[in-house]
A and B are shown apart, each in its own frame.
Chain A
Amino acid sequence: MMNLVESRRNAEQKDHSMREKLMPMNEAIDRFVHDGEVVALSSANYDRIAMAAVREIVRQGKRNLTVAKTLCSFDVELLLAAGLVKKIVSSWVSIGVVWGVSKIMRENVETGKVEFEEWSNLGMNLRFASAAMGVPFLPTFSMVGSDLPKQNRAKIIECPYSGQKLIAVPALFPHVAILHVQRADKCGNAIIDGGISADPSIAKAANRVILTAEEIVDTEAIRKEADKVVIPFLLVDAVVWAPFGSHPYDCYGNYDMDHEHVDSYVNQIETRGISYAQEYLNEYVYSVKDHFEYLKKISPKKLLEAVAMAKGIKHGWME
């Protein structure tokens, strides 16, 4: 794990200029994600998951990754299935509550191939927040009295004012953050609709930021909505256009979750065993050139229905 001083030196050296960084996904992943690094992934569990970027990481076979994420999803499932993960730092690792415990996670963690360091959800969010603020830790009452500090080696501190016991959650500095957003301009100014999760913190915490966006918009349009910008250009290294980039997960205001896609994957794992994951990767990742070819495999009718559903949810139209 990177420490505060290294992360600080990196920030001091960073090219903060407002310049165009739009590039294809394969170039962004090739240039900014390296073997052995700490990769932080966007959002939590269901909404705005950086699936298109993760599929490209799998395609390029970036190895020995430490994945940091508040609550994991199908993204970490695929990275585990592809054998690219050394360690997961998270509060929760599976695909989604409705699919129970991930067999791929169990296989990888129980055999010791992958380490899963567990924090509470607030703990994970504060680890990113601490790094984003450039301080080495933040205090919390979360996890006090539990066994989690035995497993994640969190330290207990005493408040210098009140004497109260708290957990000092250590800052987590990723080498690279990969965040999926609704809109960004070519320079990397990002607008997120719906819940922003810990993403603005993750962007500040990381050395490098790859933004994948549903839509690339003009900088002038961004300036008119400057109050909605949650990630500014100076933190960002690459901007990638990735419509339906969260598929099979949802994207607030854009499309709903494709449950059938994940149901089918989980059912095959249940009936045919975890080796099915390799077949899935062959079909949806290795055998397709890029995200746009992947999208051709998804039924347009289903995508349209997912779009309608997401609009209904966003605008609060009655059932």
Chain B
Amino acid sequence: MSSETYSSSEIAAVTAARNIEDNRVVFVGTGLPLMATALAQRLHAPNIVIVFEGGQIQPRITRKYMPFSPNDIRAGYRAIMLATPTDVLSLLQKGHIDYGFISGAQIDQYGNVNTSFIGDYTKPKTRLPGSGGANDIGSLANKTIILTRHEKRRFVQKVDFITTPGNIDGEGREKRGLIFGKPFLIITGLAIMDFDTTLGKARIMALQPGVTKEKVLENMGFRPIIPESIEVLDPPTDEELQILREIDPDGRWVEHPN
């Protein structure tokens, strides 16, 4: 596959899918994370367990009944259990959820995420819709994956408001009382980042094919840790792209290439 045959959303979804192993429990919202999870399920992870914030456990993700919200009745299509939000958010708190996906208007070098306020929270420039389940996921999932568009205004030095804690100030979550979970990966159309275990800062792990280190940095408001050698990820396969486009034929959730 050459680079112009897929979009940055598609490569991000493919990268996320490849990072989910089989037999794991994944707490997922709608949109890109759901597409990534559905892709993993169709390929290497048929026994993945999907859990939605609305309380749905192990639903079937199909093109016809694609949910628009985790509380949409479509999110419960052929589910094994329709539990409550408290039930599934408690599964997070109890440690039963391996992976959680979040995104945000601002993400900083410690993996803190803001979905609440742009500007001072007492007098915000922009009031965003708020946490929803994002705080619960980022606080309580064993591993949290931030799946997002790679934009300079999104990757800021310091978030205006910590809706969802990552490694907070780099001194560790435990010091603040958050004894479980961690920010695990940041996945974008340009790169994949993990977090340095001692500094708690984002570190470039690998670049998407055809993307330079410079391009990644140009599109970031903070400087991630840059290791001496950086791997380049494999481009998406025909099969991966075919499945994504079959689940989302209009490119509503995962943009098609121009």
In residues 1-60 of chain A, which contact B (Cβ within 8 Å)? 43-47
Which stretch (A85-93, A264-272, A297-305) binds chain B? A85-93
Known contacts: A150-B121, A195-B56, A313-B77. The answer to whether A142 contacts B135 by CB under 8 A is yes
Q: Out of B65, B135, B179, name the residue touching A120 (CB < 8 Å).
A: B135
- In the complex, which residues of chain A have a beta carbon less than 8 angstroms from the beta carbon of B5? none
In the complex, the answer to whether A316 meets B53 with C-beta atoms within 8 Å is no
Any chain B CB within 8 A of the CB of A67?
no
In the complex, the answer to whether A46 meets B178 with C-beta atoms within 8 Å is no
Main secondary structure of the interface of B (DSSP, over half): loop
Chain A, interface residues (CB within 8 Å), range: 35 or more
In residues 118-144 of chain B, which contact A (Cβ within 8 Å)? 121, 124-136, 139-140
Any chain A CB within 8 A of the CB of B6?
no
- In the complex, which residues of chain A have a beta carbon less than 8 angstroms from the beta carbon of B93? 122, 140-142
Which stretch (A95-103, A170-178, A183-191, A284-292) binds chain B? A95-103
In the complex, the answer to whether B68 meets A144 with C-beta atoms within 8 Å is no
Q: When chains A and B are docked, how far (Å) is the Cα of A252 from the Cα of B71?
A: 10
In residues 75-130 of chain A, which contact B (Cβ within 8 Å)? 90-94, 96-98, 101-102, 105-106, 109-110, 116, 118-123, 125-126, 129
B64-101 toward A: CB 8 Å interface, digit per residue (1/0)?
Answer: 11001111111011100011111001101100000000
In the complex, the answer to whether B68 meets A122 with C-beta atoms within 8 Å is no
Q: Out of A110, A140, A319, name the residue touching B62 (CB < 8 Å).
A: A319
Output the nearest chain A residue to B165 by Cβ-Cβ distance: A145
Output the nearest chain B residue to A99 by Cβ-Cβ distance: B68
Distance in Å from the Cβ of A77 to the closest Cβ of chain B?
A: 12
In the complex, the answer to whether B136 meets A122 with C-beta atoms within 8 Å is yes
In the complex, the answer to whether A141 meets B180 with C-beta atoms within 8 Å is yes
In the complex, the answer to whether A43 meets B71 with C-beta atoms within 8 Å is yes
In residues 116-167 of chain A, which contact B (Cβ within 8 Å)? 116, 118-123, 125-126, 129, 140-148, 150-151, 156, 164-166
Any chain B CB within 8 A of the CB of A70?
yes
Going nearest first, the 3 A-B pairs with the smallest beta carbon separation are A165-B177, A319-B64, A145-B176
Query: Which residues from chain A sit less than 8 Å from chain B, CB to CB?
Result: 43-47, 70-71, 90-94, 96-98, 101-102, 105-106, 109-110, 116, 118-123, 125-126, 129, 140-148, 150-151, 156, 164-166, 194-198, 201, 250-253, 256-257, 259, 310, 312-314, 316, 319
Q: A148-B116, A257-B68 are in contact. List 16 more A-B contacts (CB 8 A).
A: A45-B72, A92-B130, A96-B68, A97-B30, A97-B31, A121-B85, A122-B90, A122-B140, A123-B136, A145-B176, A145-B178, A146-B165, A147-B116, A151-B161, A195-B55, A253-B73
| Interchain residue pairs with CB less than 8 A apart (30) | A45-B72, A46-B71, A70-B85, A71-B71, A91-B130, A93-B129, A93-B130, A97-B69, A101-B129, A106-B126, A119-B131, A120-B133, A120-B134, A120-B139, A121-B89, A121-B133, A121-B135, A122-B90, A140-B93, A141-B93, A141-B177, A142-B135, A142-B136, A145-B173, A148-B131, A156-B177, A194-B76, A194-B82, A195-B71, A250-B73
